[in-house]
Amino acid sequence: MEINPKSHIMEQIEIFPLNSDYLEDVLEIENLCFSTPWKKISFISEFHLSYSFSFGIVSKNDNKLRGYIFFWLVCDEIHITNLAIDPAVRKEGLGSSLLKFLIQMGSDVNVKKIYLEVRKSNHAGKALYNKFGFVQTGYRSQYYSDNQEDALLFTYFFED
Ligand SMILES: CC(C)(COP(=O)(O)OP(=O)(O)OC[C@H]1O[C@@H](n2cnc3c(N)ncnc32)[C@H](O)[C@@H]1OP(=O)(O)O)[C@@H](O)C(=O)NCCC(=O)NCCS
């Protein structure tokens, strides 16, 4: 199963495959978004993993990186490992655009499901996944090491 790394251009935004050229921009957003941000070494290692893929989103007005999604494609499953949108441009549909893009891609490569862990307290994240038809399928007790917060496992199932 292969991902076709072509860009996806819509009217005002562009979604495109990320690489290490974008590392500093990714880190800037990452540090604004998470209490325990991924470190540079984690992103570098993702860029080198054969089953890890990442896409960025820019708005075409200024061509500035505004968010990204990282995921693993293993067998017929996608695991979202990171999704973040610059706080300066939230609630403008960018997170939705990335998720829609991923669901379309998953459908194109015939995966059976997409899943992810989200903090129990992350209302925006949970609402976003719910909006796209993800359902809660599990619970990981004390999953996050910084505050022992629980994670909810959310899954999107593709129809056969
Ligand atoms: C979660 C996140 C990616 C959403 O990105 P976004 O671009 O603001 O999302 P969108 O504008 O596409 O919003 C889509 C839906 O998400 C939900 N949503 C987004 N922000 C929300 C908020 N602050 N409160 C409640 N619901 C919210 C809504 O259901 C919204 O649909 P609506 O606009 O019809 O109400 C963004 O808030 C973020 O980067 N958060 C920090 C990192 C994070 O939590 N990542 C996910 C970890 S699993």
Q: What is the pLDDT of residue 160?
A: 81
Q: What is the pLDDT of residue 3?
A: 66
Q: Is residue 2 part of a domain?
A: no
Which structural domain range is residue 128 located in?
Answer: 8-157
Sheet with 65-74, strands from edge to edge, namely: 8-9, 13-17, 52-59, 65-74, 77-85, 113-119, 151-157, 135-140
Gap between the Cα atoms of 144 and 37, Å rounded? 12
Q: Which residues of the chain have pLDDT under 70?
A: 1-10
Q: What is the pLDDT of residue 39?
A: 97
Amino acid residing at 91: K
CATH classification of the domain holding 141: 3.40.630.30
Give the atom of ligand 1 at the shortest distance from the alpha carbon of 128. 16
pTM (2 decimals)?
0.95
Q: Is residue 125 part of a domain?
A: yes
Phi, psi of 94 (to 5 degrees): -70, -40
> Annotated catalytic, 117?
yes
Q: Choose, from 22, 115, 129, 156, the residue flagged as catalytic.
A: 129
Gap between the Cα atoms of 79 and 6, Å rounded? 20
> What's the structural domain count of the chain?
1
Q: Is residue 32 part of a domain?
A: yes
Nearest CA to ligand 1 atom 16: 128
What does the DSSP 8-state code read for residue 149? Answer: -
Nearest CA to ligand 1 atom 18: 124
